Structure 1
Amino acid sequence: MASSTMNLAILLLSVFLATSFALPSDFSIVGYSEEDLSSHDKLMELFESWMSKHSKSYASFEEKLRRFEVFKDNLKHIDESNKKGRSYWLGLNEFGDMSHEEFKAKYLGVSTDVPRRRSSSPSFRYENAADLPKSVDWRKKGAVSPVKNQGRCGSCWAFSTVAAVEGINQIVTRNLTSLSEQQLIDCDTQNNGCNGGLMDYAFSFIASTGGLHTEDDYPYLMEEGTCEEQRADLEMVTISGYEDVPENSEESLLKALANQPVSVAIEASGRSFQFYSGVRILVPVSNSCRGLLVQGVFDGPCGSDLDHGVAAVGYGSSGGQDYVIVKNSWGPRWGERGYIRMKRNTGKAQGLCGIHKMASYPTKDD
């Protein structure tokens, strides 16, 4: 018995060494292998392969060379980070040819330079919620639509808003309907379309103007358009209003999340967030040798200067790490099929990346 336990321990240790200090054998997780880094020619081959995978093309040879240099710099950052043995991988995703400054300018969009409007209801309806479940996943409950892609438009605030409205609508009506971000971009003049906005303003707009159209009736353009008021006779999904989650309180966020998806703002401008890929396999530090821990929980680095709107759609634990499940709007190829698990119980009142600072949710009382 002691011999078999020792053999298992040796096996787990060998896996730990392989997974902690080398790239995974399934290179699709990170998008490259060690061999790709061995020469300029290999890097160029990798770049061509990456271009094909993501349907990239450039207007000139000079632009292609410039993008190749950006690509190499991003790959260096990704590889150096992966070799630090973090609990998550970074991957060579579709943003691989964008400088970090370009990425921040195109894919973020929460406006913090305008005052946040407090909800019309000063109460927090979930204040007295007790006996919260250990984990919640609104995807499994049918309240989350497929991951969407905002493209190069700073409309994350609209996607965050819509995800929360889709969630409460499904919970109340039992009908999951994909709703229109484009309507908010075109018609909500309190916000700034592709130049950013706030989820509270968007909730207020929806509640006061009769609701949101479906995605099919008012599809996404990836740019600002003209408000289509003539579509008013088509199907609309309504909300009653919205409420803010008490600031800097993880307990309050979990109380709300146990009852519905929640709009949250985070700081997503870090380079590691740009290339987050997800799952990494680690060995537990334990004498029991019960098996492998599959992690992938993002634990930074990031600050708390809010610049991106996303939707929290659940919470849980993995490998001893507690996390919040966050739905992003950068398409299903980013992160864990469009999602990121963000560490909670960090000891910071603002939460990881400021996730506790500006959370809110729509209400639907009819």
Structure 2
Amino acid sequence: MVLILSVAKSFDYNEKEIETEEGLEAMYDRWRSHHKVTEKSPERFNAFKATAQLVHNHNKLKKSYKMKINGLADMPIEEFRSAHGDEVLANLKLPGPGCPACPACPNCPAAAGPKDLPPSFDWREKNVITPVRRIPGCFNMGPAITSIEAINAIVTKENLVLSQQQVIDCYPGGPIGAHTVYEFALATGIATLESYPEVGGKHNCDKAKFGKKLVTISGYEQLNHIPNEEAVMRMVQEQPVIFSIYTNDEEYKNYAGGIYNGACEGWPKWVLLVGWGQDPDGTKYWIGKTTFYGEEWGEKGYIRVIRTPEGFCGMYKFGFRPFKTIETRNIEL
């Protein structure tokens, strides 16, 4: 009997297809039909073959996380890096260790002591995290957008979905990155997705789409070399925070679920940390939200990353958190 292999609910295949070039090509055509992909080229077919072999071999091993053949399977790794990694951050020389006592969130309760930190915590249970969606364009901006959505919901009790498209279209400078989102929110305010829909690419700024409300912040902080796990937990307990993870590009691209503890190499990827937890076997993890491929990727758009004192894959080296006080009102148009 041929073993049918599947991870999550997306694309199924059988192991016989992996064994021959003809089987892989037929599998690729089924995948293209499944994901409604019209483009076909030798380069993309080669990328798909490499992905299929990687996923198949990985899932036969007893690892703490699984992979799957998702909608990014035929994307060459160079294209994935340019779209989903952060080249500026990859080449950034961070300042030395510092910030042993980072400024407290101006609108949050006093930080908890280590004995007061619960074994699990999840902002998704508090109605401040917007639904996972795929945000086209500059993918290193998406987690910054969602971090503003979260702090705005915490302070105003309004759970608003915001438009990255408006930032891309209307930001006057460059390059565009996570910091761009915060600077734009400070200077202009960010429109809701309902008013200014995502279409991908850069277009002329259309102020007619700004709608009735622009969400603002009172400031933001760049986080460099946070000293330990406990300090990050305190921050995340105050509000969701974005950090970068230097993970293997292929493993991350094909992540399907479980606690990621793979190779620490490749370009940095931004995630919004929304909480933490612990498996029955005692393995501790962070819960991260992504925006680059919607609910099909990972655990319905989320990743669990192993939680370590020093920060797995450089996680505590670089991040951002926005601030919003009660006095910082959104702009009503």
Per the shorter chain, which TM-score range? 0.7 to 0.9
TM-score by length of 2: 0.83
**Structure 1 residue aligned with 2:277:** 316
- The alpha-carbon distance between structure 1 residues 277 and 23, as it changes in their structure 2 partners (threshold 3 A), is farther
CA distance in 2, matches of 1:200, 1:320: 36
**Structure 2 residue aligned with 1:34:** 15
Q: CA deviation at 1:238?
A: 1.7
8 Å contact 2:287–2:302 — kept in the other structure? yes
**Structure 1 residue aligned with 2:79:** 102
Encode CA deviations 1:319-339: one digit per residue, 9 max, x unaligned: 321111111112211111111
CA distance in 1, matches of 2:94, 2:214: 26
Encode CA deviations 1:228-258: one digit per residue, 9 max, x unaligned: 3455573111211123446233211111111
User: Matches of residues 1-366 of structure 1 in structure 2 within 5 Å?
Assistant: 28=9, 31-58=12-39, 63-109=40-86, 111-112=88-89, 113=91, 123-125=103-105, 128-130=111-113, 131-151=116-136, 153=137, 155-193=138-176, 197=177, 199-209=178-188, 211-229=189-207, 231=209, 234-245=212-223, 247-248=225-226, 249-268=228-247, 270-278=249-257, 296-303=258-265, 307-318=268-279, 319-329=281-291, 330-345=293-308, 347=309, 349=310, 351-366=311-326
Opposite residue 26 of structure 2, the aligned amino acid is E
- Length, aligned pairs only: 312
Q: CA deviation at 1:162?
A: 1.0
8 Å contact 1:262–1:312 — kept in the other structure? yes
Encode CA deviations 1:105-153: one digit per residue, 9 max, x unaligned: 222236225688999x9623377422122211111211111112234x3
CA distance in 1, matches of 2:185, 2:231: 24
- The alpha-carbon distance between structure 1 residues 28 and 180, as it changes in their structure 2 partners (threshold 3 A), is closer
SS of residue in 1 equivalent to 2:125: coil
CA distance in 1, matches of 2:173, 2:278: 38
- The alpha-carbon distance between structure 1 residues 26 and 363, as it changes in their structure 2 partners (threshold 3 A), is closer
CA distance in 2, matches of 1:320, 1:31: 32
Q: CA deviation at 1:26?
A: 6.1
**351-360 vs 49-58, which deviates more?**
351-360
CA distance in 2, matches of 1:134, 1:91: 30
TM-score by length of 1: 0.76
- The alpha-carbon distance between structure 1 residues 77 and 184, as it changes in their structure 2 partners (threshold 3 A), is same
Structure showing the higher strand proportion among its residues: 2
- The alpha-carbon distance between structure 1 residues 28 and 208, as it changes in their structure 2 partners (threshold 3 A), is closer
8 Å contact 1:30–1:89 — kept in the other structure? no
Opposite residue 181 of structure 1, the aligned amino acid is Q
**76-85 vs 159-168, which deviates more?**
76-85
Note the aligned Cα RMSD (angstroms). 2.9
CA distance in 2, matches of 1:25, 1:74: 14
Over the matched positions of the two proteins, sequence identity in percent amounts to 30
SS of residue in 2 equivalent to 1:140: helix
CA distance in 2, matches of 1:237, 1:323: 31
- Runs of 5+ unmatched residues, structure 2: 327-333
8 Å contact 1:116–1:200 — kept in the other structure? no
Opposite residue 252 of structure 1, the aligned amino acid is A
CA distance in 1, matches of 2:206, 2:248: 33
SS of residue in 2 equivalent to 1:161: helix
Encode CA deviations 1:291-341: one digit per residue, 9 max, x unaligned: xxxxx10002123x7532221111111132111111111221111111110
- The alpha-carbon distance between structure 1 residues 27 and 48, as it changes in their structure 2 partners (threshold 3 A), is farther
Q: CA deviation at 1:264?
A: 1.5
- Runs of 5+ unmatched residues, structure 1: 1-21, 279-295
CA distance in 2, matches of 1:30, 1:172: 41
- The alpha-carbon distance between structure 1 residues 227 and 69, as it changes in their structure 2 partners (threshold 3 A), is same
Q: CA deviation at 1:276?
A: 0.5
8 Å contact 1:138–1:261 — kept in the other structure? yes
Q: CA deviation at 1:27?
A: 7.5
